[in-house]
């Protein structure tokens, strides 16, 4: 019998003794729900991004919903279809309408010219989705938003720490972040909403906590902590004290974790066969943090390629296919009927290879070697 294949999963969250100690501290404290660690996490997040206000929530989807709903957006929101469906769901459930615009082939991010062309009298916001750790062209999108007096929302689920110039994602508009285990920073489940507007931050904090303006932890210090009056019709989007404790520790590691991802991406770039793959592009003035390492297949059968990679224990996959505008619910919307040729091309040939901070150089070499061999064997 042959030996078992080596295992290189798509991603492993970088959790260690410090996170275990932080979780144990919270469990021993008895305060498991939203509490003091949320304040610590939010404060560290603001400092890292250079933003004024951060609201910890239970997911990026909740943060995106808050960005639309709390801002009172009821018209059209321009966003890419080449994204996870949560981006579009937040627009629709927040009370607005999706208008999909095409993306740039190299970066997989919104094409500013396509955004400009999609603007109508009903347009109220642009939602930029930073794909896989690469910042959308926020300088161009911010100018478009300012010129047309549109709200700018950043789906930064995949790009904490990525920059354009000196500015990080989440600092251009309303920032929405994910801390799912595949992301650059993880709390297990969780998200963050960022803004420069204190009134909006306060409103989002209240809506995320059943519409009540003060949290249970904050009310503990009041003379009558039982008083809970709703200012808004709210939801329960709160992040727990336990999740926030993990986030506060992860904030201390985010820069070395991102540096490790960049190192592995550079190694992939050297080892992968450019005749078989279009490799990721990092444009001048941008810093890519490689939440995903994605390539485009050049002339080979992607499904067969992925099967061969799985046979070698390699967790390669696809992000994202199908595009949102082709999914059953969104395919019925009138705004989904516009042609998106670059999006269609990407969904047909995009591939995601494993990347995470704890990968060894041998892991990267193993993946690259078998990716080259599988792609060559699957030429069409």
Residue pair 292/355 in contact (Cβ under 8 Å)? The answer is yes
- Owner of token pair 């995106």: 64
Q: Which of 37, 168, 183, 312 is catalytic?
A: 183
> Which phi-psi region, left, alpha or beta, contains residue 211 (left: φ > 0; alpha: ψ -120 to 50)?
left
3-state secondary structure of 45: helix
Nearest one of 126, 179, 172 to 149, comparing CA atoms: 126
Complete edge-to-edge strand list for the sheet that includes strand 167-168: 167-168, 163-164, 286-287
List alpha helices for the chain, DSSP H: 17-29, 36-49, 60-69, 85-93, 112-118, 138-147, 198-207, 216-219, 241-251, 254-271, 302-311, 328-331, 341-349, 361-377
Instruction: Assess contact for 55 and 201: CB atoms under 8 A.
Output: yes
> Alpha-carbon Rg of the chain, whole angstroms?
21
Any idea which residue has 């304040």 for tokens? 39
Rounded Cα distance between 119 and 343, Å, is 19
| Residue in the block written with tokens 């404290």 | 29
129 beta partners? 155
Residue listed under structure tokens 């906590």: 209
Q: Measured between alpha carbons, how far is 293 from 47 in angstroms, rounded to an integer?
A: 27
183 in active site? yes
Looking up tokens 């199908």, which residue turns up? Answer: 322
Q: What phi and psi, each to the nearest 5 degrees, are found at residue 337?
A: -85, -10
Catalytic residues: 183
């Amino acid at each position: 019998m042959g030996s078992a294949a080596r295992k290189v999963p798509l991603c492993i969250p970088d959790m260690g003794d410090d996170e275990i100690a932080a979780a144990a501290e919270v469990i021993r404290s008895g305060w498991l729900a939203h509490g003091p660690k949320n304040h610590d996490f939010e404060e560290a997040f603001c400092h890292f991004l250079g933003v004024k206000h951060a609201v910890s929530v239970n997911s990026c989807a909740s943060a995106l919903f808050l960005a639309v709903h709390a801002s009172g957006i009821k018209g059209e929101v321009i966003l890419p279809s080449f994204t996870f469906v949560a981006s579009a769901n937040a627009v629709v459930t927040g009370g607005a309408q999706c208008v999909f615009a095409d993306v740039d082939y190299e970066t997989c991010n919104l094409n500013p010219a396509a955004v400009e062309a999609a603007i109508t009298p009903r347009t109220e916001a642009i939602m930029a989705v930073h794909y896989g750790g690469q910042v959308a062209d926020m300088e161009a999108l911010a100018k478009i938003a300012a010129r047309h007096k549109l709200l700018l929302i950043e789906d930064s689920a995949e790009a904490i720490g990525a920059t354009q110039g000196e500015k990080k994602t989440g600092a251009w508009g309303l920032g929405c972040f994910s801390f799912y285990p595949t992301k650059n920073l993880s709390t297990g489940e969780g998200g963050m909403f960022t803004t420069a507007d204190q009134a909006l931050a306060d409103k989002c904090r209240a809506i995320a906590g059943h519409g009540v303006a003060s949290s249970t932890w904050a009310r503990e210090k009041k003379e009558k902590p039982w008083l809970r009056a709703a200012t808004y019709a709210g939801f329960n989007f709160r992040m727990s004290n336990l999740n926030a404790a993990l986030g506060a520790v992860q904030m201390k590691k985010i820069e070395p974790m991102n540096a490790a991802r960049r190192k592995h991406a550079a190694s992939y770039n050297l080892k992968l066969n450019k005749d078989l793959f279009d490799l990721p592009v990092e444009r001048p003035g941008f810093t890519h943090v490689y939440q995903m390492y994605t390539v485009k297949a050049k002339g080979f059968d992607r499904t067969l390629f992925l099967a061969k990679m799985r046979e070698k224990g390699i967790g390669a996959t696809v992000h994202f296919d199908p595009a949102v505008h082709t999914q059953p619910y969104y395919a019925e919307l009138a705004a989904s009927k516009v042609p998106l040729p670059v999006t269609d091309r990407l969904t047909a040939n995009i591939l995601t290879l494993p990347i995470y901070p704890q990968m060894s150089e041998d892991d990267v070499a193993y993946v690259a070697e078998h990716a080259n061999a599988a792609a060559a064997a699957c030429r069409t």
